[in-house]
A and B are shown apart, each in its own frame.
Chain A
Amino acid sequence: MTTTTTATTTRPTVATVWLDGCSGCHMSLMDLDERLITLAGLVDILHSPVVDPKEFPQSVDVTLVEGAVSSEEDLHKANVIRAHSKFVIALGDCAVTGNVPAMRNYWDRSDLFDRAYVENAQEPPTAEERKAILPLTVVPPLRPRATPLHEVIKVDLYLPGCPPPADAIWFVLTEFLAGRVPNAMSVSRFGK
């Protein structure tokens, strides 16, 4: 078998995905600071909000997923991630518990939309205008409930925290690279 990328394929591949979250978990990842340089030497980051590729790779060793599953697009992404990742880590409280995105679950979607797009409008829209205003087309439809990642796909490791501290992310990644399954609860907790 011939290939031009023998050097990179021997290294573990990593992807990070941003579903319904505030990106705080990715910020925390950025907070690895100079350790990012070390990380870049250890793994290939194939897919991430901070790198360019738009398509999810065919095969990834570890995928870190931030955010709850809120829309149909999130659900689709989650299924794609699961199908193409060997190991899926739920990164942060939104992916682990639903957290803040799931706080909308106490209301109906139509009530939510009205609150966001109708009640706060400077001039109350007519019924016709309301239809046009609400984000019901073009953007992916909201699911009835925002759920934690493991309610839609199998998750291999949970790293709670809001956000999980950079040290915790570093610990989990390095443990994993060393071939061990880390105990995330020794370094983080819900709401940290």
Chain B
Amino acid sequence: MSAVTSTTQSITLTIDDKAISCRSGETILQVARENNIDIPTLCYLEGLTVWGGCRLCMVEIAASPKLHAACATECTEGMTVRTTSPRLKQYRKMIVEMLFAERNHVCSVCVSNGHCELQNMATKLEIDHVRFPYRFPRMEVDNSHDYMRLDQNRCILCARCVRVCGEIEGAHTKDVKGRGVLSAIIHDLDEPWGDSQTCTGCGKCVNVCPTGALTHRGTAVGEMTKKTEFLPYLTLMREVKL
């Protein structure tokens, strides 16, 4: 404990006009959530490394011309952060709209309907329609595993599954192939999930997946719920052990 206190400093900053103090090394997102200030995220998950891919947590910092990803920006002394503004709201809406246009998120027939972070995000950001042209790509569904399923139609490429598989389970079965909109989650060297020699079948990927992309088989519309509580617990255990 003494080692911790000697290296961490106390920092004061302002988030949305609220004076806040935190420890050095904490990110804006962590501090905001500790203080009940909501910043939307899709790729961030407590317990996994920061990815910085969804760009929903972009915030304004006074005197900086650029926007900053709250998940990847550490707090500094005297920082003044604004987590919402008409501009940020507009950007966030566009980002989520683009996700809907990118693949085939047909909520009404999705097993995660009602328990989906993407769907909830759309409601939260008051997205009533998608302004962008839909891509309507033809995507694969990998049904080869005994009790889990990967539906590429619902994937938002947040890479939570890739990270949990590599960082927590240590299997590194999952990774990303391709570029741009043609990127896709794969198993091993792009083999069917059921044929994977490295997958331990732990199911963590299913539980961290924010949408209906990774699900348990045998679930019907709206039946798939996810449990992510295990992650902070596992991370904490790992830190204690260290």
Contact = CB atoms under 8 A, between A and B. Distances in A.
A159 B128 CA distance: 7
B126 A96 contact: no
Determine the main DSSP class of A at the interface with B: mixed
Contact of B129 (A102, A160, A191): A160
Nearest to B109: A100
Interface stretch (B36-44, B131-139, B194-202): B131-139
A97 B129 contact: yes
Nearest to A189: B123
Given A160-B128, A185-B127, A190-B119, A99 B108 contact: yes
A159 B105 CA distance: 17
Interface string A127-158: 00000000000000000010110110001001
Nearest to B101: A97
A93 interface: yes
A103 B104 contact: yes
Residue among A97, A99, A102 with the highest chain B CB neighbour number at 10 A: A97
Nearest to A184: B128
A191 B128 contact: no
A106 B103 CA distance: 11
A158 B128 CA distance: 6
B100 interface: yes
19 contacts: A97-B100, A97-B129, A97-B130, A98-B134, A99-B106, A99-B108, A100-B106, A103-B104, A105-B134, A106-B137, A147-B134, A158-B129, A159-B128, A185-B127, A189-B119, A189-B122, A190-B107, A190-B108, A191-B110
Interface of B: 100, 104-110, 113-114, 119, 122-123, 126-131, 133-134, 136-139
Interface of A: 90, 93, 96-100, 102-103, 105-107, 145, 147-148, 150-151, 155, 158-160, 162, 183-185, 189-191
